[in-house]
Structure 1
Amino acid sequence: MAQGHRRRHATYVAGLITVVVSATFSRLWGRVCDIVFPRWCLGCGTPDESLCPQCHTAWAAPWWRAEADARYLVQFDSEGDDLVVFPVWGKARYAGVVSRGVVGWKHIRDRRADVAFRKLMASNVASLNVSEAFPAVRCGQVTVVPVASGRSRRRDGFRTTSILAQAVADVWAVPMIDGLRAVHRNEMSNTVAGRSHKSRGQRAVVDFRGRDIVLVDDVLTTGATMLGAKRAVESVGGRVVGAIVLAVTTRT
């Protein structure tokens, strides 16, 4: 028994040493990267940070329903009353630190920034209850789908929306399907089926049949792209129950 205890103790110590060494190496490697590839906070310019703790507080406000700020997501019924297309939840206003941070991230090629915004979205979305936020969702049917980015960003292998969507899916423990693509203005289709998949710059490239879709985008402006994504999803049998965005522009 004493020998077994010593073996377990040795295994525990070895594991602890591995963890400590790994953490130390990660810190040292991070410092080396900051020297060789310097970075500054995308929101305020603080050195050696992709998004500093102070700038994180710009997303500290509670989630709120933001679709009223997007004119394409508010329609009218036969009696002239407002009819919301689907709920969109936002976390911050697209101004100041938030706008600088998001714009900087979209134009930089730094995986450390990707990690920073993925962690930001994950920490924020943990407080958003799926069934309460999206009453139309059916249990076990939810799938997270990023709104399509422009072709140039996909060609560069960089998509902010898919990074954010994966963070949401990981927290909720649901699938993420990158199934929408941007459509070039001049792109044409010779088939009825092809044309039905294209709406306001979005087309579906997978079958969403039977799925309740939560769209994810970085910034909500007019809602035109969101509406296009909804139509693209519906054209292949899916159902959009709502959306999440990192920032919301102020309606003017």
Structure 2
Amino acid sequence: MRSSRVLDLILPQRCAGCATPLTAWCPTCARSLGAPVPVARPGLTSAYALGRYEGAARRAVLAYKERGRRELATHLGAALAAALPSIRAGPVVLIPAPSRPTAARARGGQHMAAVAHRCAAAVRATGQWASVVPALRLDPRAADSVGLDAPARAANLLGRLRPDPRHRPPPDIPAVLLDDVITTGATATACVSALRSTGVPVAAVLALTTAG
């Protein structure tokens, strides 16, 4: 993984989806993240994703999360901002799904928080009000969820995904939870439950991609 990051630094910029040179995210690959499509998972309502976790979209998410392609936050945030009006009209609070602290340190920060801020900036550029509140935190004891099925993911998050008392969203503005991938839906469900337990109204979950 480290060698991949070094190559990314010394080689000319290439599209994260198809390796077209001199662009971070080409117009063709950008179309892999389109209009929001409903995602059905047990216990999860009002969830949407912009594309499937495959092909160019999957490569972009992985390049951003795991290979240090931080410039992609602007493109991913813009894609989410373009989709927001169709699921939530008016002012909106954007809440990024949290990563494990160890993963966040390895990635140079909470990756969805950076995307959320780019998304909010794109929304504000259209004249609408948007704010980002990192209202959730994940306990360091939570394990990596890769390879876990839905019950195991839920058990892994139980009591470990909690509201962050330092960052409380305004109670009168609906929130939209932002995530990169919806797989079993366990993470999104736990996030929504944690927010609602403190009276935060959650209008929807909006993810870049969905798998499975």
Bucket of the pairwise TM-score, normalised by the shorter protein: 0.7 to 0.9
Stretches of structure 1 that go unaligned for 5 or more consecutive residues are 1-33, 74-85, 132-138, 188-197
Query: Number of matched residues?
Result: 183
Is residue 147–residue 161 contact of structure 1 (8 Å, CA) maintained in 2?
yes
SS state at 1:91 partner: strand
CA distance in 2, matches of 1:166, 1:59: 18
Question: Structure 2 counterpart of 1:159, which letter?
Answer: Q
**Alignment identity in percent?**
26
Aligned to 1:152: 102
Is residue 209–residue 237 contact of structure 1 (8 Å, CA) maintained in 2?
no
Question: Structure 1 counterpart of 2:25, which letter?
Answer: L
How far did 1:242 drift? Answer: 1.2
Aligned to 1:232: 194
CA distance in 2, matches of 1:223, 1:186: 16
CA distance in 2, matches of 1:130, 1:90: 14
Question: Structure 2 counterpart of 1:173, which letter?
Answer: W
Query: Residues 120 and 126 from structure 1, CA distance in 2 versus in 1: closer, same or farther, beyond 3 angstroms?
Result: same
Is residue 63–residue 69 contact of structure 2 (8 Å, CA) maintained in 1?
no
CA distance in 1, matches of 2:204, 2:84: 16
Aligned to 1:181: 137
SS state at 2:86 partner: coil
Between Structure 1 and Structure 2, which shows a larger proportion of helix residues?
1
Q: Does 1:42 align with 2:16?
A: yes
How far did 1:58 drift? Answer: 1.2
User: Which of residues 83, 97, 102 in structure 2 aligns to 1:125?
Assistant: 83
Q: Does 1:217 align with 2:168?
A: no
User: Which of residues 54, 70, 92 in structure 1 aligns to 2:28?
Assistant: 54
Aligned to 1:97: 56
Question: Structure 1 counterpart of 2:38, which letter?
Answer: R
Is residue 199–residue 231 contact of structure 1 (8 Å, CA) maintained in 2?
no
Query: Residues 183 and 45 from structure 1, CA distance in 2 versus in 1: closer, same or farther, beyond 3 angstroms?
Result: same
Taking structure 2 as the reference length, the TM-score comes to 0.73
Question: Structure 2 counterpart of 1:120, which letter?
Answer: A
CA distance in 2, matches of 1:104, 1:183: 25
SS state at 2:131 partner: coil
SS state at 1:242 partner: strand
RMSD: 2.7
Query: Residues 240 and 158 from structure 1, CA distance in 2 versus in 1: closer, same or farther, beyond 3 angstroms?
Result: same
Higher relative contact order (CA 8 A, sep 6+): 2
How far did 1:50 drift? Answer: 1.6
Q: 1:150-203: per-residue Cα shift (whole Å, max 9, x none)?
A: 21243243333112322333314222101211123369xxxxxxxxxx746421
CA distance in 2, matches of 1:97, 1:176: 27
SS state at 1:125 partner: helix
Query: Residues 130 and 112 from structure 1, CA distance in 2 versus in 1: closer, same or farther, beyond 3 angstroms?
Result: same
SS state at 1:166 partner: helix
CA distance in 1, matches of 2:115, 2:13: 21
Question: Structure 1 counterpart of 2:189, which letter?
Answer: L
CA distance in 1, matches of 2:208, 2:67: 17
SS state at 1:58 partner: coil
CA distance in 2, matches of 1:186, 1:216: 20
SS state at 2:31 partner: helix
